[in-house]
Amino acid sequence: MSGGRGVTFAAGFTAGAVGVGVKDEKVKRLDVALLVADRPCAAAGVFTTNRVIAAPCVVTKRHVAAGTLRAVVVNSGNANACTGDQGERDAVAMAAAAAKRVGARTEEIGVASTGVIGVPLPTERIVKGIERIEPSIEGWDAMSRAIMTTDTRQKVAEREVWLRGRPVRIGGAAKGAGMIHPDMATLLAFVTTDAKLGPETARRALRLAADDTFNAISVDGDTSTNDTLLLLASGASGVEVADEAWAPFVEALGEVCGELARAVVADGEGATKVYEVRVRGAASAADARLAARTITNSNLVRTAIHGADPNWGRILMAAGRSGARIDQRRASVRIGDVDVFTRGAPARWDAAAVRALFERPEVVIEVDLGSGDATARAWGCDLSKEYVRINAEYTT
């Protein structure tokens, strides 16, 4: 199921947002949000792998490592990245204001920011805004809108799974449309559950879920300074995730993350099409992921799909340069239901049929590396003139 309450779907969570004009004081769109748990939560996070890391990521990593989280405060319109020592002080000030608002310790607050890099954060306005937020179950809608930047639509998902004979809920919200690339994909994402998890269990579950979802999407090949994926577990359901409950919980968590991740790709800046790459015949799971992600990250593949150009050689090229082992004599490529390259040789194929497939809003590409039996999937979107326009005008 999707499109419901997102981060407040699970028991024990409320949310809310206000507008303070983070990017432009004259524009009071929703841009500061607060996600609140009614008790300390086991927490886990996955953060940017960019070595230029934003202050909120530094602070939140420290707070997650210290123990539990009670809330997450988020702003859009300003990344608070490359802002020097003041940036970290500002991130801590956001955490302190949120802690005061919900009756927690500063160390129990996660902080996330997204927007323009290298601009000082308007901390005073943000702190005053945090004081005005009134979290509620219905506040999921305001929060999911407040975290958006170039996104054109909200991204929420949820699942209910029965564990040990009782219902457990998982919900989430995400933002992301540009600077999207695996390890980790550029975005902010917040996932909540009323399952009972320990910190280590939460970390393992989140890493497994992220690897096949948020780390398998690409829009433009750039990884931002602010990527943050957080999981908060309230335990309000009373159901402990262990033993036979582990696999179905991780599957449901992966479904929530997967729905959010695919929504990010579908809303990619300037995107008109989404394509799924299915790799099989790889020598290892790592090789399969590497090939799939390289194909989704190829600008030549993206532009061919955008222009409905049946240039399937670009797909094989990308797989070949990925570093994955490939046996060219046994490799195959299939676009939709059309075989274009079979066991090392061009197939008899209809260019018009492939062009028609590339004109669809969703495209499936299958590649067999001919080197083993491992598989992987990844998702990407086309590269359009609109992407160039959006990013040429981002700060203006």
| CATH code for the domain defined by 6-266 | 3.60.70.12
Residues near 335 by beta carbon (within 8 Å), at least 6 away in sequence: 310, 312, 315, 354, 357, 358, 363, 364, 365, 366
170 CB burial (10 A radius; 0-12, 13-18, 19+):
buried
Residue 284 pLDDT level (bands cut at 50, 70, 90): very high
pLDDT at 342 over 80: yes
Mean pLDDT across 77-88: 93
Residues near 2 by beta carbon (within 8 Å), at least 6 away in sequence: 156, 157, 158, 259
Q: Which class is domain 274-392?
A: alpha beta
pLDDT at 18 over 70: yes
pLDDT at 246 over 90: yes
What integer pLDDT is reported at residue 220 of this predicted model? Answer: 46
Tokens of 56: 């909120």
Task: In whole angstroms, give the CA distance from residue 41 to residue 71.
Answer: 9
Contact 25, 134 (CB under 8 A): no
C-alpha radius of gyration, the chain, whole number: 21
What integer pLDDT is reported at residue 2 of this predicted model? Answer: 42
What integer pLDDT is reported at residue 390 of this predicted model? Answer: 60
Return the minimum-mean-pLDDT range out of 41-50, 93-102, 175-184, 387-396: 175-184
Return the minimum-mean-pLDDT range out of 30-44, 53-67, 156-170: 53-67
Please tell me the total number of residues recorded for the chain in this structure: 396
Tokens of 114: 């997204």
β-partners of residue 170 are 159, 193
Residues acting as catalytic residues: 186
pLDDT at 229 over 80: yes
The runs of H, that is alpha helices, within the chain are 55-66, 84-102, 123-132, 140-146, 199-211, 246-266, 285-296, 299-306, 313-321, 351-358, 385-392
Mean pLDDT across 4-18: 95
Contact 140, 35 (CB under 8 A): no
Question: In the chain, which segments carry CATH 3.10.20.340?
Answer: 274-392
Neighbours of 348 (CB within 10 A): 7
Chain mean pLDDT for the chain: 89
3-class SS at 139?
A: helix
Residue 179 pLDDT level (bands cut at 50, 70, 90): very low
What integer pLDDT is reported at residue 270 of this predicted model? Answer: 60
Residue 187 pLDDT level (bands cut at 50, 70, 90): confident
Amino acid occupying residue 69: L
Residue 346 pLDDT level (bands cut at 50, 70, 90): very high
Task: In whole angstroms, give the CA distance from residue 288 to residue 308.
Answer: 26
The single residue listed with the structure tokens 């917040």 is 190
Neighbours of 284 (CB within 10 A): 15
**HSE of 297 in the Cβ direction (CA atoms, 13 Å)?**
21
Tokens of 251: 């599957």
Question: In the chain, which segments carry CATH 3.60.70.12?
Answer: 6-266
Residue 393 pLDDT level (bands cut at 50, 70, 90): low
Residues near 291 by beta carbon (within 8 Å), at least 6 away in sequence: 279, 282, 318, 319, 322, 324, 326, 367, 369, 376
Task: In whole angstroms, give the CA distance from residue 217 to residue 396.
Answer: 28
Mean pLDDT across 36-59: 89
Residues near 11 by beta carbon (within 8 Å), at least 6 away in sequence: 169, 194, 234, 236, 237
Task: In whole angstroms, give the CA distance from residue 390 to residue 395.
Answer: 10
The per-residue b/e assignment along 125-153, b for 16 or more CB within 10 angstroms, e otherwise, is bbbebbeebebeeebbbbbbbbbbbbbee
What integer pLDDT is reported at residue 272 of this predicted model? Answer: 81
Amino acid occupying residue 358: F
What integer pLDDT is reported at residue 223 of this predicted model? Answer: 52
What integer pLDDT is reported at residue 292 of this predicted model? Answer: 93
Return the minimum-mean-pLDDT range out of 25-39, 45-59, 186-200, 285-299: 45-59
Residues near 220 by beta carbon (within 8 Å), at least 6 away in sequence: 178, 179, 180, 181, 268, 269, 383, 387
pLDDT at 222 over 50: no
β-partners of residue 191 are 172, 231
What integer pLDDT is reported at residue 132 of this predicted model? Answer: 97
Neighbours of 321 (CB within 10 A): 13
Closest CA to 190 of 1, 5, 6, 2: 6
Return the minimum-mean-pLDDT range out of 112-126, 175-189, 285-299, 314-328: 175-189
What integer pLDDT is reported at residue 380 of this predicted model? Answer: 86
